[in-house]
Amino acid sequence: MNDQPPRSGFASSLLGKSFVHPLFDYLLIGGGLSLLVAGLVHWTVPLAAGGGGQNYSIHARFAWIPMVILLSNSTHFASSTVRLYSKPGTFQALPFLTMAFPLVCLLVTTLCMVYPVNLGTNLQRLYLIWSPYHYAAQAYGLAVMYSYRSGCPLGLNDKRLMRWISMLPFFLVCLGGEGFGLYALLPEAWLAQPTVHGAVMVLKQWLFPLLIFGSPVALFIKIWVTEQKPLPLISLLVLMVNGCWWVIFTDYLQAFTLATIFHGVQYLAIVLIFHVRDQKQRSTNRHGTLYHVLWFYGASLLLGYGLFHCLPWAYRLAGFGVVESMLLVAAAINIHHFIVDAYIWKLGKKDSNRTIVDSDQAPAFV
Amino acid sequence: MESEEAVAGPSLDVTAAQSPLLRVSFWLGAIVILGSMVLGLLYSAGRDRTLPSLQLAYYPGIEKLVEAGEYRQALDQLNVAIELDFLSRVRIHQEIAQIAMTNGQLDDHIAACRALIKAGAADEVTSLNLSGSLLMRSATGDHGRAEELSRELLQKYPNHPAVNCNLGAALLGQDQLVEAEQYFLRALELEPGLLPAQAGLAKVREVKATRE
């Protein structure tokens, strides 16, 4: 897991500075792989349904999805917890988050379980609307990090602009579907009015897709012109890939499923890099990269299986229904992950994250 | 990976935390959560003789309730799912309609079919089944809706015996005996042995005879 040596020239500036290898970084962290799969799913599923594109089930077509969800999705949710407890200094820096927050989450989940319709619904709504925000925030963080590593640190205004651009997919999802977003907040009858419905459709089908794909390119050009150096393409890719799921798949269930899987792949790749570097920087370290990768991934996989697949059974044992046990435990784990993530990735000047991001020389720009 | 403010600390030692309350909550949380996961694993293994399924879905649990004949519990659970699983509402209503119709839960079947019609996700079979349930429930006012649904269906399927029969029954329920008789006869012409049509026709003639 060594950084690629700096290359000179314009091409290397465009390519940016990889953590592992350009192919690895672009496919897994940049989200290139998810673009390939998005194309595959988008074009093959309707064909499989006889070309009509109607009444097809992604779960019927992709029977392997539960295994992929375990290996990517569940594991990634658990990995933030593993990272929280294995990252140096977190018990001291984040005492409430590390020590009290799990119990608080458990109590809130149980309370929602007791009142599934009144409280549980709100937990579920929160999870559904926070997910695209979380993915957008991760896209922003990765885009800024690669930009910084690649010798193109962004000014405050460009950062703000990038933040807004990264949030566009989140705003698109906020327009909502049945039961969440605008549709959870505003009266159904008002939203069903032809003019309102028409306006929402124009936003969903035209304006947001245009902004989601057009504004990262505009920002790229702006930075190139004003700063005399380009953003690495991986920063551009990360922003656009995060948008593509919500634009390509108008069925929110498909969009959520696939976006979450590839968000998980992206997350696992980057968290493994940070974990391995943290561990290898320890003076007491005696193990190689493979050991740390296997240890971290194995622990996350085991915890992911325990949280998503075993914990709901404990609630069933306690007398709760299968529906609330499955759905509300998943929602609570998601929200716990979102909150933990907001803290463990901070790049404080003395934080080990900063050391890792700073550890490599930026490529020379010609 | 969301912001850039400073957090830092040198120690990884849980015992270094100063507050005893935090230490207690940490150990309590860890024991309860890990213990629950182990309990859940054992419970699943003992009940289904297998490890918890990789499928992150509640449908297998609903199917087991149906297989065990616990239809009411299955329907109650699906009604909770409608409130929680926003993205799958159409599929849940379809599931409710199917389970309720198969097991004679008329009110649930009618509510699910109506929800599907409202969501624009109902096909002809849904309408046909709904009109059937409305007729079977025979509450005041339902016959009118059953007639409406049956007439819509009849435009598409004029030679469908069940549609003709349902319309006959809906009209019979509203005391429109002459027209009801025509549709029962038409249904029997299309399917001579259709028992509900035979029963409907007999009822029409019985009422007519009483009045004469």
Secondary structure, 3-state, chain B: CCCCCCCCCCCCCHHHCCCHHHHHHHHHHHHHHHHHHHHHHHHHHHHHCCCCCCCCCCHHHHHHHHHCCCHHHHHHHHHHHHHHCHHHHHHHHHHHHHHHHHCCCHHHHHHHHHHHHHCCCCCHHHHHHHHHHHHHHCCCCHHHHHHHHHHHHHHHCCCCHHHHHHHHHHHHHCCCHHHHHHHHHHHHHHCCCCHHHHHHHHHHHHHHHHHC
Mutate to test the interface with B, among A64, A92, A279, A355 (most CBs of B within 10 A): A92
Once rounded to an integer, what is the mean pLDDT over residues B78-96? 86
Q: Cβ contact (<8 Å) for A91 and B12? A: yes
Q: How far is CA B66 from CA A217, A319, B92, B102, in A?
A: 53, 18, 14, 10
Per-residue pLDDT band at A58 (split at 50, 70, 90): very low
Distance to chain B for A251, nearest Cα, Å: 9
| Contact predicate A137/B2, CB 8 Å | yes
Minimal Cβ distance to A89: which of B9, B23, B43: B9
Q: Cβ contact (<8 Å) for B43 and A316? A: yes
CA–CA separation, B32 vs B79, rounded Å? Answer: 30
Those residues whose C-beta lies under 8 Å from the C-beta of residue A161, and which sit 6 or more positions away, are A219, A222
pLDDT at residue A112 above 90?
yes
Contact residues, chain A, for B89 at CB < 8 Å: 178-179
The pLDDT assigned to A87 comes to 86
> What's the number of CA atoms in the CB half-sphere (13 Å) around residue A63?
0
Q: Cβ contact (<8 Å) for A99 and B14? A: yes
Q: Cβ contact (<8 Å) for A310 and B44? A: yes
Q: Cβ contact (<8 Å) for A116 and B19? A: no
Once rounded to an integer, what is the mean pLDDT over residues A80-101? 90
- What the block records as the tokens of A214 is 């057009």
| Contact predicate A152/A230, CB 8 Å | yes
Once rounded to an integer, what is the mean pLDDT over residues A245-253? 78
The pLDDT assigned to A221 comes to 93
Those residues whose C-beta lies under 8 Å from the C-beta of residue B70, and which sit 6 or more positions away, are none
Per-residue pLDDT band at A320 (split at 50, 70, 90): very high
Burial label, B40 (beta-carbon count in 10 A; 0-12, 13-18, 19+): buried
CA–CA separation, A81 vs A336, rounded Å? Answer: 9
Mean pLDDT (chain B) is: 80
The pLDDT assigned to A361 comes to 36
Q: How far is CA A94 from CA A149, A268, B8, in A?
A: 27, 22, 9
| Contact predicate A306/A102, CB 8 Å | no
Q: What is the pLDDT of residues A341-350, one digit of tens each?
A: 988 887 666 6
The pLDDT assigned to B138 comes to 63
Once rounded to an integer, what is the mean pLDDT over residues A130-147? 91
Per-residue pLDDT band at B17 (split at 50, 70, 90): low
pLDDT at residue B79 above 70?
yes
CA–CA separation, A95 vs A42, rounded Å? Answer: 45
ipTM: 0.79
Mean pLDDT (chain A) is: 84
Q: How far is CA B103 from CA A96, A360, B93, in A?
A: 51, 67, 15
How many A/B residue pairs have CB atoms within 8 Å? 206
CA–CA separation, A245 vs A221, rounded Å? Answer: 24
The pLDDT assigned to B29 comes to 93
Contact residues, chain B, for A142 at CB < 8 Å: 1
pTM, full prediction:
0.79
SS3 state of residue A187: coil
Per-residue pLDDT band at B10 (split at 50, 70, 90): very low
Pick the residue with more confidence: A366 or A361? A361
List the one residue out of A129, A140, A217 whose CA is nearest residue A171. A129
Contact residues, chain B, for A343 at CB < 8 Å: 7
A91-95, A209-213, A235-239, B128-132: which range is least confident on average? B128-132
A250-264, A273-287, A310-324: which range is least confident on average? A250-264
